[in-house]
Amino acid sequence: MRGLTQLLLLLLATCLSLWLILGFWPLGTGSRVALSMLVIILGGTAGYFQWRRQNRNDVAFAHIADTVLPPEDFQGAVVLICGDSAPLFSASVPFHETQQGWYLPVAMPEHLSMMAQHLASERPALIAQVSVLLAIIPEQHQDKDDFIQSLRIWHRAIVQCKSWLAGVPPVWVSIWLSPPDVASVQTERWYTVTPGQKDVQVREAGSGVMPLSVWSQQPDARNVQERLSATFWMESLLPWLKSHVQDIFVQRQGDIPALIPCIWAVCFSPVTGCQDNLWQKYVAGSTTLAPAPTTMPDCLPLPEALLPYLPRRRGISRLMQTLRIAGLLCGIFLLFALLASFVNNQRLIQSVSDHLALYNRLTGTPPAPKTVAQQQLRADARLLDEWLRSGAPMRMTLGLYQGMRLIPPLEAAINSWSPPPPPPPIINKIVQGPKTIRLDALSLFDVGKSELKTGSTKVLINALVGIKAKPDWLIVVAGHTDDTGDDKSNQVLSLKRAASVRDWMRDTGDVPESCFAVQGYGESNPIATNDTPEGRAANRRVEISLVPQANACKAAANQHVSND
């Protein structure tokens, strides 16, 4: 999986976590902010370390070109050849492609895990097709201890690949030996030993597979000597393989488990060996035969005929692997979102239930606490009704919303009680404001005069029926004129007219003079325009008002007491 894909998955995980915190989990504002910052910091830190690891991998895998790797849609086997791999490849081509397989050389044990990691990163769909071929050419090794030590190092390197290749990959061992007879070089033939089978199988192109014992006894006049020498050569090789190779792999090395190859294959092909090599020493001590002195080809034959017999596993492509991880992240998000929705709904039910329980526990006497509880129920009902019409928030939904079943009990509780009406207001004392009677001046006085006209008594009596002297009330008599004439004369005229009305009321009603106040405003307080005759007539007036005032009209109060 490429670094960009991993960063995108990390970004997806961060966004889903923030969505879960901000949109679903019932947390306070401070907790939401703190957790959101923590997720962002952790996501940024993980992204930084992922970016650094990708850069280190790019440097480590610089020696492995992408052109060396098989395409992701390659259907054949991908074989990592370890051990004595150099004679199997030409110097100009770093890999070998056939119809059934893609062969990649691994020169050093420490490169094997790097190659496996690079394959898992760049070609995840081919992981199931990867196998490890341990190439052994006994004629190129002289010291037995060094040879066994190298096998143990390769053993450890192969096992370490399991973390990248979804387990320990299939391992098979191939041995190339010079034939005892030059004639046997003419045909490529593989002798195989598989676990569970006792006999050595001979695999030859165009001849199928048959046991070595059967193949050696087949009548063939031209190849009788070849068959006999090959059979003897194979029977001599098996003990050597057991003591030098098999016993090394089947033994546990500390924390490294045993390794059982799925196929042991032997090919007799011309090999250029070193002097006094392991195979020569072994052959010299057990038989008089010796490898035939032949010329080694440019590349030793690859075990192409054995590829169909390798165990196969199923792999997934990089896209499918990414989709699986993204699906897993979305599944985890959905699971926690459902859990948060369930918690939110339970909290809603508990809150409304607590409000209903408090409301039903109150008797309504006094009504104030139950009124407050009823207002809380109305607020709950309004909120649930709004969610019913507009849709509940996402943190409450996901198929778990319980608000609709809470509306009927809320409405029933609200309608079951109403607060008593407020008592009527109690009026202890009615205090009336000033009472004003307005008299037309022309009905009382002649023009420009301040003496009452003859016949004005009737007008005064009818108008002043409601004006009576009372303690702490002052009778205010105010005169007004129009704007005809000068201001001073109008003010004097208005004052004299008010005094005439006061004198009449004092003498006629036997009201003490202390109950009166006389004012002359002249033309200063008009109630209509002076531009028209009607307006001027309205402004010529005398106003009588009854105004409350402390300590006013005390003489009238004393008079009432004496009369009683």
Mean pLDDT, rounded, for 366-372: 90
Indicate if 41 and 84 belong to the same structural domain: no
In a domain, 66, yes or no: no
Under a CB-based contact definition with an 8 Å cutoff, are residues 103 and 74 in contact? no
At 334 the pLDDT is 92
| Whether the predicted pLDDT of 181 surpasses 70 | no
Buried/exposed code over 310-330 (b: 16+ C-beta within 10 A; e: otherwise): beeeebeebeebbeebbeebe
Tally of domains in the chain: 4
Which segment of 124-128, 288-292, 321-325, 398-402 scores lowest on mean pLDDT?
Answer: 288-292
Q: Whole-angstrom Cα distance, residue 400 to residue 24?
A: 13
Instruction: Check residue 52 and give its pLDDT.
Output: 87
Structural domain includes residue 65: no
- Residue 50 in contact with residue 7, Cβ under 8 Å? yes
| End-to-end CA gap in the chain | 118
Query: pLDDT digits over 102-136, tens only?
Result: 999 998 999 898 888 888 888 888 888 899 999 99
Which two three-digit tokens encode residue 266?
Answer: 């032997």
Would strands 473-480 and 171-177 be described as parallel, antiparallel, or unpaired?
unpaired
Q: HSE-up of 217 (CA within 13 Å, CB side)?
A: 5
One domain for residues 335 and 357: yes
Q: Which of these, 167, 98, 99, 90, lies nearest to 132 by C-alpha position?
A: 167
What percent of the chain lies above the pLDDT cut of 90?
A: 30
Q: Which residues pair with 60 in a beta bridge?
A: none
Same-domain check for residues 355 and 280 = no
Least confident of 112-126, 372-386, 421-435, 504-518: 421-435
Q: Which of 2-11, 82-91, 221-230 has the lowest mean pLDDT?
A: 221-230
Q: How far is CA 316 from CA 72, 73, 161, 218, in A?
A: 10, 11, 18, 46
Q: If 0-12 CB within 10 Å is exposed, 13-18 middle and 19+ buried, where does residue 471 land?
A: middle
Number of neighbouring beta carbons within 10 Å of residue 438: 14
Cβ atoms of residues 192 and 203 within 8 Å: yes
Two tokens, residue 507: 């003498």
Cα separation, 266 vs 238, whole angstroms: 10
Residues 268 and 367 placed together within one structural domain of the fold: no
Please report the pLDDT score of residue 136 as a whole number.
94
Q: Please report the pLDDT score of residue 35 as a whole number.
A: 94
Confidence of residue 298 (pLDDT cuts 50, 70, 90): confident
Highest averaged pLDDT of the listed ranges 150-164, 432-446, 533-547: 150-164
pLDDT digits (tens, 9 = 90+) for 213-225: 888 887 764 567 7
pLDDT at 463: 66
DSSP bridge pairs for 190 = 203, 267
Look at residue 395 in the predicted model and tell me its pLDDT: 86
Average pLDDT over residues 371-389: 92
State which residues form the domain around 198: 73-316
Residues 504 and 359 in one domain: no
Rounded to whole angstroms, the Cα distance separating 128 from 170 reads 10
Closest CA to 378 of 355, 396, 358, 362: 355
Q: Is the pLDDT of residue 427 over 50?
A: no
Q: Are residues 300 and 346 in the same domain?
A: no
Same domain, 540 and 441: yes
Lowest mean pLDDT across 291-305, 353-367, 398-412, 439-453: 291-305
CA 506, CA 514: separation in Å to the nearest integer?
10
Q: Which two tokens stand for residue 87?
A: 């004679």
- Shared-domain flag, residues 251 and 111: yes
Distance CA 31, CA 140 (A): 69
Shared-domain flag, residues 390 and 440: no
Which tens digit of pLDDT belongs to each residue from 428-478? Answer: 444 454 567 888 877 888 888 888 888 787 777 776 666 666 666 788 889
Q: Is residue 62 part of a domain?
A: no
* 126 falls within a domain: yes
Contacts (Cβ under 8 Å, ≥6 apart) of 514: 552, 553, 554, 555
Kindly give the pairing relationship between strand 96-97 and strand 541-548: unpaired
pLDDT of residue 558 exceeding 70 = no
Of 125-139, 200-214, 279-293, minimum mean pLDDT range: 279-293
Average pLDDT, the chain: 83
Point out the domain boundary residue: 286, 316, 346: 316
CA distance 233 to 518: 155
Rounded CA separation 449/447 (Å): 5
Q: Residue 516 belongs to a domain with what CATH number?
A: 3.30.1330.60
Confidence class of residue 61 from pLDDT cuts 50, 70 and 90? low
Average pLDDT over residues 520-547: 88
pLDDT of residue 559: 44
Position 63 in a domain? no
Rg (CA), the chain: 59
Structure tokens at 513: 């003079």
Q: How confident is the model at residue 82 (pLDDT cuts 50, 70, 90)?
A: very high
Model confidence at 146: pLDDT above 90? yes
Q: Rounded to whole angstroms, how far apart are CA atoms 254 and 251?
A: 9
Which segment of 113-127, 197-211, 312-326 scores lowest on mean pLDDT? Answer: 312-326
d(CA 226, CA 182): 9
The SS3 call for residue 365 is: coil
Residue 256 pLDDT exceeds 80: yes
d(CA 187, CA 220): 14
Q: What is the mean pLDDT of residues 56-81?
A: 77
HEC string of 154-191?
HHHHHHHHHHCCCCCCCEEEEEEECCCCHHHHHCCEEE
Alpha helices in 242-295 (DSSP H): 247-249, 278-286
Are 300 and 178 found together in one domain? yes
Q: What is the pLDDT of residue 425?
A: 53
**Encoding tokens for residue 527?**
């109630």
Residue type at position 345: N
Same domain flag for 306 and 331: no
- The residue with greater pLDDT, 469 or 33, is 33
Average of pLDDT values for 214-239?
78
Domain assignment present for residue 421? The answer is no
pLDDT of 557:
45
Residue 422 lies in a domain: no
Q: Which one-letter DSSP state was computed for residue 38?
A: H
pLDDT at 437: 81
Ramachandran class of 517: left when φ > 0, alpha when ψ lies in -120 to 50, beta otherwise: beta
**In-domain check, residue 280:** yes
Question: Within this chain, do residues 142 and 31 fall inside the same structural domain, yes or no?
Answer: no
pLDDT at position 322, please?
83
